[in-house]
Chains A and B, each alone.
Chain A
Amino acid sequence: MKKIIFCFIIASLVFGETKKWDAHSAYLLPQKRWEMGLFQPFRYGYSETIEYSVHPLWFFVMPNFSLKKSQSDFAGFTSASQYKIVYPTPFLNMIAKEGIMGIIAPDFQMPPMLGLSASWLMSKNMSGVDLTLKGGLDLGFAFGDLDTRSTIDLPLVYHRLGVYYNNWGFHTGLDVQKNISEKIGVLVDADLRLLPGLNGNYSLEHKLLLSWHKSENFRVLTGYKFVMGEYPYGSDMRLLPYIPIFETWVPMIEFQWARKKQ
């Protein structure tokens, strides 16, 4: 069960930042509409100005909550602020173990940790292309002795958890989305994470996804994610999803569903 949860969480990091249905734009979900995917969090339009999201499976091992609030338009861009809170300690202690799936050495007991993130998002449609700019500050608090040897030095993971070792960091990014037909859309994004002072202080993630909108309530996505960055052992890059034993990249496939609560 732990293996399944871990694989799911890793997959979620790859799949979890698709845009429209607008997860990472400044646009909010319509009131009472919910969306979720195999690997995406559950999102809900609470009101015309507030949307919240939570990853239901993660929640039991890594409690998390995110809130997006619409803001006044800025320079012609639709704007929103987003706030996230996450408590990763239970999950990290699950994988600090002996034997298979011991991702962190059992020497280490992970202390209580809290991650906070605040972002500003600005979106605009320009000549049929949806453009979103975003940026923000990440804070990580460890309430106890967090040993620097307990890092997980893997793409996607190292820099997301790096904020707990560095206490703070920045993130910024750009999303571009265009519908190339009534049913088919394409999304390209790039996200930069900076952790000034950390040994392995940046990562750049890029994603390209094609989406097929079967209806308002269901769509399928496929594509890749590319990650490059600096790690404690040096620079590295990886195309994801990657299957180690077969030593090959495979396209990601994601199914997403949506409904409007009556």
Chain B
Amino acid sequence: MKKLLSILGVLLLGCDPFVTEFEDLSNALMYEADSKSNETYDSGNVKVVTWNIRFGIARFPFFGDSCGDDVILDDDTIEKNMAAIADSLNAIDADIVLLQEVDVSSKRTGYMDQVQYLLDNTNLNYGCYASMWKADYIASDGIGRIDAGNAILSKYELTDAERIQLRLRTDQDGLTQYFYLRRNIVKAKIPALTQGAKDFYAVDIHATAFATDDTKQQHIDKYVETLAEIQSSGNYFVTGGDLNSVPPGSEFDYCLLDMCPDEKYEDENGNEIDYHSIDSLTSGPHKEGAYFNNFDGERDILLPLYEAYDAAIDSVDANLPIHLTHGPSTSYEMNDIKYDRKLDYLFTNGIWENTLSKTHQAAWELSDHLPVSAVLNVGGE
């Protein structure tokens, strides 16, 4: 009987889902550096950075998010890029790092566990990870096996790490949705930074980029709700990520800038149509991910965050050229543009040392997003 149960057990293990779906709330995957640096927090400010590292492919012309048509980067270049990202993080010397687009077991990046790599090659000791795209095989464009997501890295121990599911896109057919991304918020407690009776949380998000329905609004609403819960419980947080939203008052139409040579919009019937002309901004059709006015209120979607919390880069400065954080990877080659919009943010319900907030634009060659760092005035009101 035991043998039979063992055989059945093995067979059932062979039935792991082909595409991993997630509960609304689940545990994040915990990591530790192979060799931890001796970091203990006693007092003083806490430095935080957010960075969408584009799974370590730097400015590689990847087919999915630029005008490139390549899919799989070679292992040596991945290793070199990740080493450069680790060097940058060491130079910034943050206590808490919020990462988006991190691969942990993907064909496209040689199955490197990038969370573990960064922990082992920086002064960060602890990590937690939440998949946004996990499948045995994506049978499209040679993507193959994929496991990519968000991660929080920290010098100090992380506990109570949660993966909070964000709503799926509704502007896709069922088959596409099944194989598509499942975006999330990852949240963790950092006991070493507890201030009196107030717990300290780090919250990391990567909101939808390409949805043309109200998914982005749903994602930001869930994010605001998650932060409000921490706030109303009387606790502290630092938070940030790639919100894929422009600041209030920003340009909102990048369709023609992001358009690839001879690219056409393809409607649901497969007909090819020109994108809108520059003087007909609202009429469409618009390029997915390049237009930030898909629904009423999208241009001001971040106002609740700016109004409720302290922004590392305040809304007045957010559209200044020195604070732009994103440019598609091929935009430099095509239009001599390194970065042309701000999509990456840091907020806290504490207080930033505003003069120390920085967008690290020198790192533009390491991703299509730039790191943003800020220093939390711990104990400041």
Taking CB as reference atom, which chain A residue is nearest B75?
A: A149
Q: In the bound complex, do residue B70 and residue A107 qualify as a contact, i.e. CB atoms below 8 Å apart?
A: yes
Interface hits, B5-24 → A, CB 8 Å? 10-11, 13-19
A170 at interface, CB cutoff 8 A = no
Q: In the bound complex, do residue B140 and residue A153 qualify as a contact, i.e. CB atoms below 8 Å apart?
A: no
A100 at interface, CB cutoff 8 A = yes
Q: Do A239 and B15 contact each other (CB < 8 Å), given the known contacts A98-B63, A106-B69, A153-B107?
A: yes
Q: In the complex, A107 Cα to B73 Cα: how many Å?
A: 10
Instruction: Give chain B nearest CB distance to A130 CB in angstroms.
Output: 23
- What residues on A are CB-neighbors of B144 within 8 Å? 103, 105, 152-153
B139 CB contact (under 8 Å) in A103, A237, A249: A103
Taking CB as reference atom, which chain A residue is nearest B70?
A: A107
Query: How many B residues, CB 8 Å from partner?
Result: 30
Q: In the bound complex, do residue B111 and residue A106 qualify as a contact, i.e. CB atoms below 8 Å apart?
A: no
Q: Do A233 and B145 contact each other (CB < 8 Å), given the known contacts A226-B14, A239-B11?
A: yes
Interface hits, A228-259 → B, CB 8 Å? 228, 232-234, 237-239, 242, 244-245, 247-249
Q: In the bound complex, do residue A233 and residue B105 qualify as a contact, i.e. CB atoms below 8 Å apart?
A: yes
Q: In the bound complex, do residue B13 and residue A100 qualify as a contact, i.e. CB atoms below 8 Å apart?
A: no
Instruction: Give chain B nearest CB distance to A67 CB in angstroms.
Output: 34
- What residues on B are CB-neighbors of A108 within 8 Å? 142
- What residues on A are CB-neighbors of B175 within 8 Å? 245
Taking CB as reference atom, which chain A residue is nearest B14?
A: A239
Residue among A96, A149, A232 facing the most chain B CB atoms (10 A cut-off)? A149
A102 CB contact (under 8 Å) in B15, B16, B107, B142: B142
B211 at interface, CB cutoff 8 A = no
Q: In the complex, A112 Cα to B61 Cα: how many Å?
A: 28
A 22-51 to B, binary, CB cutoff 8 A, 1 in contact else 0: 000000000000000000000000000000
B34 at interface, CB cutoff 8 A = no
- What residues on B are CB-neighbors of A98 within 8 Å? 63, 69, 141
Q: In the complex, A244 Cα to B145 Cα: how many Å?
A: 14
B19 CB contact (under 8 Å) in A103, A104, A244: A244
- What residues on A are CB-neighbors of B14 within 8 Å? 226-228, 237-239, 249
Interface hits, A138-160 → B, CB 8 Å? 149, 152-154
Q: Which residues of A contact B (CB under 8 A)?
A: 96-108, 149, 152-154, 224, 226-228, 232-234, 237-239, 242, 244-245, 247-249
Q: Which residues of B contact A (CB under 8 A)?
A: 10-11, 13-19, 63, 69-72, 74, 105, 107, 110-111, 136-137, 139-145, 175, 178
Knowing that A99-B140, A100-B140 touch, tell me 8 more A-B residue pairs with CB under 8 angstroms: A100-B139, A102-B141, A105-B141, A153-B137, A237-B10, A239-B14, A244-B19, A249-B15
